[in-house]
């Protein structure tokens, strides 16, 4: 995919973006009290009850987009996104709980993080804002927004995310372990997998550290 077709893929994802919203409506009023209960009794062990995880392998989900969270839970349930721990966690959730959990965690306040390696900031900032013409890497800001907050529905927040988790996901996308389901249902994942193909290890490392501290 060249840069233009990557950006054209954006409008493709916009087309499927209506699905979770329609699901939320079909499920009636989201039961946020139920979501809070699940969050405090189940998710808290790894993500924190308010979605702020103390451990870098477990992503922060506080303040992440509601539809994005729900989509990931559905993908874990369906085996479209593969992770033994999260597939087990998502399996018993009903569609209504998946929607409510997305809204609940989106409403929690994320704790800001800072970039740890000052020597990587200049390189990362250029890549984040302008991409890399030599490899056809598009600017991250085009899809994840200039301040890393993401764009609701399709594009997740990167700011405030543990760098180790972000780096692991970039590698998983590049290796075809995420965004590469055999039925091609993961439209958004495919877009990000195409982006990750164009990234070197050094660029991934710099961007993961930098994106954590964006605000
Ligand atoms: C035993 C630890 C554990 C528990 C309990 C757990 N998770 Fe997770 N969760 C993880 C790990 C580890 C990942 C990262 C998976 C990966 O690398 O793909 C993750 C990923 C996620 C993601 C994807 C985040 C992203 O940015 O893409 C969501 C959403 C999520 N979990 C929600 C939940 C919810 C909701 C619950 C409670 C029902 C829960 N998790 C319970 C460990 C856990
Ligand atoms: C053309 C749009 C687009 C561009 C450009 C883009 N991304 Fe993404 N990115 C996405 C989409 C869509 C997803 C959500 C995939 C999904 O739903 O599984 C995503 C997901 C991610 C994730 C996973 C987040 C999580 O919580 O698991 C990371 C990390 C990421 N992108 C980093 C980057 C970086 C760094 C750049 C710049 C090199 C970048 N992205 C450029 C569209 C884009």
Cβ 142 under 6 angstroms from ligand 2: yes
Q: 77-80: long-range contacts at Cβ-Cβ below 8 A with a sequence spacing of 24 or more?
A: 78/185, 79/181, 80/181, 80/183, 80/185, 80/186, 80/189
**What residue has token string 């995919």?**
1
User: What rounded mean pLDDT belongs to the chain?
Assistant: 91
Read off the pLDDT band of 77 (50, 70, 90).
very high
CA angle at 102 for the pair 88 and 197, rounded to the nearest 5°: 75
What pLDDT does 17 receive? Answer: 45
Read off the pLDDT band of 1 (50, 70, 90).
low
Cβ 166 under 6 angstroms from ligand 2: yes
The stretch 161-184 carries a mean pLDDT of 97
Residue 35 contacts residue 100 (beta carbons within 8 Å)? yes
Sequence-ordered list of residues with C-beta below 8 angstroms from that of 194, at least 6 positions apart, any chain? 1, 6, 9
Residue 40's CB is within 10 A of a number of other CB atoms, namely 11
What pLDDT does 28 receive? Answer: 80
pLDDT tops 70 at residue 11? no
Q: How far away, in angstroms, is 44 Cα from ligand 2 center?
A: 25
Cβ 91 under 6 angstroms from ligand 1: no
Task: Give the whole-number percent of the chain exceeding pLDDT 70.
Answer: 87
The stretch 84-96 carries a mean pLDDT of 98
Nearest-angstrom CA–CA distance, 87 and 75: 9
Atom number in ligand 2 closest to CA 128: 37
Could you tell me the two tokens for 190? 């495919």
pLDDT tops 60 at residue 78? yes
Could you tell me the two tokens for 179? 């965004």
Distance from the first to the final alpha carbon of the chain: 30
The stretch 18-29 carries a mean pLDDT of 54
pLDDT 10s digits, 124-149 = 999 999 999 999 999 999 999 999 99
What pLDDT does 44 receive? Answer: 98
Nearest-angstrom CA–CA distance, 35 and 41: 10
The residue whose CB lies within 8 Å of the most ligand 2 atoms, and thus the one to mutate among 53, 143, 169, is: 143
Cβ 86 under 6 angstroms from ligand 2: no
| Least distant ligand from the CA of 86 | 1
């Amino acid at each position: 995919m060249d840069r233009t077709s990557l950006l054209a893929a954006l409008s493709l994802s916009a087309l499927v973006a209506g699905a979770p919203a329609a699901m939320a409506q079909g499920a009636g009023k989201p039961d946020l009290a139920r979501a809070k209960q699940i969050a405090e009794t189940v998710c808290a062990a790894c993500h924190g009850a308010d979605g702020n995880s103390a451990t870098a392998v477990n992503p922060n989900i506080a303040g992440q987009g509601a539809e994005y969270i729900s989509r990931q839970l559905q993908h874990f349930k369906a085996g479209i996104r593969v992770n033994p721990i999260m597939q087990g966690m998502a399996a018993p959730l009903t569609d209504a709980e998946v929607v409510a959990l997305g809204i609940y965690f989106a409403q929690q306040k994320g704790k800001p993080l800072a970039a740890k390696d000052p020597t990587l900031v200049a390189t990362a900032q250029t890549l984040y804002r302008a991409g890399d013409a030599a490899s056809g890497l598009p600017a991250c800001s085009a899809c994840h927004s200039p301040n890393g907050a993401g764009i609701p529905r399709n594009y997740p927040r990167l700011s405030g995310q543990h760098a180790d988790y972000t780096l692991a996901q970039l590698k998983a996308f590049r290796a075809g372990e995420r965004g590469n389901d055999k039925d091609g249902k993961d439209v958004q994942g495919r877009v990000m997998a195409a982006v990750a193909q164009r990234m070197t290890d050094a660029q991934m490392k710099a961007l993961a550290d930098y994106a954590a501290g964006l605000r």
